[in-house]
Chains A and B, each alone.
Chain A
Amino acid sequence: MTQLLEALAWIADPTRWSGPGSIPVRLLEHLWYTLLGVGIAALVAIPVGLLVGHTRRGRGPVVALSGAARALPTLGLVTLFGLWLGIGLTAPVLAFVILAIPSLLAGAYSACEAVDPRTVDAARAQGMTEWQILTRVEVPLGLPLLIGGVRLAAVQVVATVMLASYIGNGGLGRFIFLGLNLSDYPQMLGGSILVVALALVIDLALRLVERLTAPRGAART
């Protein structure tokens, strides 16, 4: 337990809370990379996922893709792109985007799919256009699932951003790898605690959003 205390002391050390390479800087870097990765992936994956879910076409390839992507080792992708594309933001962000896409895709198509087909049929029979069915029926009713996909993607990317520190990028993973190189266990542990805290905060925040976006009136099953 002394090591845990040392790690907490490492975090609490005021010199780590200002200047370049300090905890707030690394934290912001971490958040920024996460936002970048999930944001770009969302621009691609959510429209495609909604299209697949709404038309119920192309579900097979999407499911297969999400399944296969789960087998992809994140560390392998990060080091591969790092070696390929060199230092800079392109390599890690490409990896983040690729790893975020399956969860977002799955969230978006299951959001549409979870809506009772009879409700969609009735909406169409009332004279809603396909766009109105998507935006006024499927998305509002499936929003929690859509957000759930964003949550899984975000959590995945937070972990990957940490690994990307290994190939020289910023983010909270820096502390872990620095500690690893120096055999400085308190620093590794301190960095780990920070990453875990960040992941949990993001996870809980998005869970809250899921709750808040659950359509009122729709009986949850």
Chain B
Amino acid sequence: MIAFENVGKTYPDGTTAVEDFSLEIASHEAVVLVGTSGSGKTTLLRMINRMVDPSRGRVAIDGEDVAGLDPVRLRRSIGYVMQASGLLPHRSVLDNVTTVPVLRGTSRREARSRALELLETVGLDPALARRYPSQLSGGQQQRVGVARALAADPNILLMDEPFGAVDPIVRADLQQEMLRIQKELHKTIVFVTHDIDEAFLLGDRVVLLRPGGVVAQQGTPQEILAAPADDFVRSFVGADRGTRTLHVEEIEGRRIVVDADGRAAGVLEPPAGGAARA
């Protein structure tokens, strides 16, 4: 379990990134922090592995204040995926994935065979293992980034807009892959994004942040959509534009889902295994 207890961050130049933030994240839960730039979401994420130390309050993992832990050892025990993949350009894909296990003292051979498995887990052809990061596409690089984060089999996975820099089709692909991996591995995931659709797709729970790390609303995607707390949330999730209000129209015997502007959003399928009930 990860607990933020009244944390705040003020930088030496006087800017306050986070005012007063509290949150508990249960083990095996995927929580998405979503907000615009300046919402302090990345700052909060980086407090978990001590890339940022809070100015006030504390962050605890399983009850233990991270401030008392050695940052290097802490970071090696937590997976981290960032937007620009951050792979080491002078090392092959395989060496990038084995970095942390080798730093932790795993034998190179063992780390390599595990890395090859991981490449398959994240949907990469193991033949790419010998390539350098610059020889991969953006989507492939992000997959390597995920594999690297998983390499030391951490309990916690931090993801900082990991799919922000790839095109929409690849992003959708990576998101599905992420859902599949999570179903398999049940990590505790803290995911940061500014994309509300991504947040609703990937989060068991979504935390909507205003500037300064102020929680506007938190809950399951369903809860937030069903009852937006205020206008800020309404506008963020797009409820005010009507893009979230859908209704069903019957056209030529099929049930079409239509949004508030009258644009067709999809076809309503009957529930599996039975005829549609009205």
Question: Quick check: which of A7-15, A91-99, A122-130 contacts chain B, the rest being far away?
Answer: A122-130
Q: Which of these, B51, B75, B90, contacts A217 with CB under 8 Å?
A: B90
Extra contacts besides A125-B49, A128-B99, A141-B90 (4): CB < 8 Å: A116-B89, A137-B88, A217-B90, A217-B135
A47 interface residue (CB < 8 Å to B)? no
B180 within 8 A of A: no
Residues in chain A near residue B74, CB distance under 8 A:
127
Contact B90 A118 (CB under 8 A): no
- Decide yes or no whether A218 CB sits under 8 A from chain B: yes
**Given A119-B88, A127-B72, A219 and B134 touching (CB < 8 A)?**
yes
The CA of A219 and the CA of B134, in the complex, are separated in Å by: 7
Given B72, B82, B92, B135, which contacts A128 in the complex, CB threshold below 8 Å? B72
Interface of A is mostly: helix
A216 within 8 A of B: yes
A-B pairs with the 3 shortest C-beta distances?
A: A122-B86, A217-B132, A127-B76
Task: Determine whether the beta carbon of A217 is less than 8 Å from that of B89.
Answer: yes
A198–B84 Cα distance when bound, in Å, is 45
* B 97-156 contacts with A by CB, 8 A: 99-100, 103-104, 132-135, 148
- A140 CB-CB contact with B under 8 Å: yes
Chain B residues in 8 Å Cβ range of A116: 89
A123 pairs with B51, CB closer than 8 A: no
- Residue of chain B at shortest CB distance from A137: B88
Residues of A within 8 Å of B49, CB to CB, are 125
Are A124 and B75 touching (Cβ within 8 A)? yes
Interchain CB contact under 8 A, B100 and A215: no
Complex Cα distance A136/B103, Å? 11
Which residue on chain A has the smallest CB distance to residue B149? A126
Instruction: Pick the contact of A125: B80, B84, B88, B89 (CB < 8 A).
Output: B80
Known: A125-B75, A126-B80. A217 touches B133 (CB 8 A): yes
Find out whether the CB atom of A216 lies under 8 angstroms from the CB atom of B90. yes
Q: Are A218 and B89 in contact (CB under 8 A)?
A: yes
Q: How many residues of B are counted as interface, with CB atoms below 8 angstroms from the partner's CB atoms?
A: 29
CA distance A119 to B91 in the complex (A): 12
- Chain A CB within 8 A of B73 CB: yes
In the assembly, what is the distance between CA of A217 and CA of B141, in Å? 13
CB proximity to B under 8 Å, residues A106-147: 116, 118-119, 121-129, 132, 136-137, 140-141
A122 CB contacts on chain B under 8 angstroms: 80, 82, 84-88
Chain A residues 32 to 74 lying within 8 A of chain B, measured CB to CB, are: none
A: interface residue count bin: 20 to 34
Collect the chain A residues with CB atoms within 8 Å of residue B92's CB. 217
Within 8 A of B (CB), among A162-189: none
Known contacts A128-B103, A217-B91, A218-B134; decide if A121 and B75 are in contact (CB<8 Å).
no
Interface residues of B (CB under 8 A from A): 46, 49, 51, 72-77, 80, 82, 84-92, 99-100, 103-104, 132-135, 148
Q: How far is the CB of A144 from chain B (nearest CB, A)?
A: 11
Residues from chain A with a CB closer than 8 A to the CB of B72 are: 127-129
Cα-based distance from A141 to B49 in the complex (angstroms): 25
Q: A217-B91, A217-B92, A217-B133 are in contact. Are A125 and B73 (CB under 8 A)?
A: no
A125 touches B103 (CB 8 A): no
Cross-chain contact B76 with A217 (CB below 8 angstroms): no
- Minimum distance in angstroms from A122 CB to a CB of chain B: 2
Q: Can you pick out 14 interface pairs between chain A and chain B where the beta carbons lie within 8 Å of each other?
A: A119-B88, A121-B86, A122-B80, A122-B82, A122-B84, A126-B75, A126-B99, A127-B103, A132-B103, A141-B89, A141-B90, A215-B90, A216-B132, A217-B135
Residue of A nearest to B93 (CB): A217
- A139 CB to closest chain B CB, in angstroms? 11
Closest to B133 in A: A217
> Using a CB-CB cutoff of 8 Å, which residues 197-221 of chain A contact chain B?
215-219
Which of B74, B75, B82, B90 has the most C-beta atoms of chain A within 10 angstroms of its own C-beta? B90
**A132 proximity list for chain B (CB < 8 A):** 103
Nearest chain A CB to B192's CB is how many angstroms away? 13
Contact A126 B148 (CB under 8 A): yes
Which residues on A sit within 8 Å (CB–CB) of B76?
Answer: 126-127
Bound-complex Cα distance A94 to B174 (A): 60
The minimal Cβ–Cβ distance linking B95 to chain A, given in whole angstroms, is: 10
C-alpha spacing A15/B91, complex, angstroms: 54
In the complex formed, the residue of A with least CB distance to B89 is A218
> Closest CB-CB distance, A217 to chain B, in whole Å?
3
A13 and B49 CA atoms in complex are apart in Å by 72
Complex CA–CA separation, A201 to B129 (angstroms): 40
CA distance A129 to B71 in the complex (A): 9
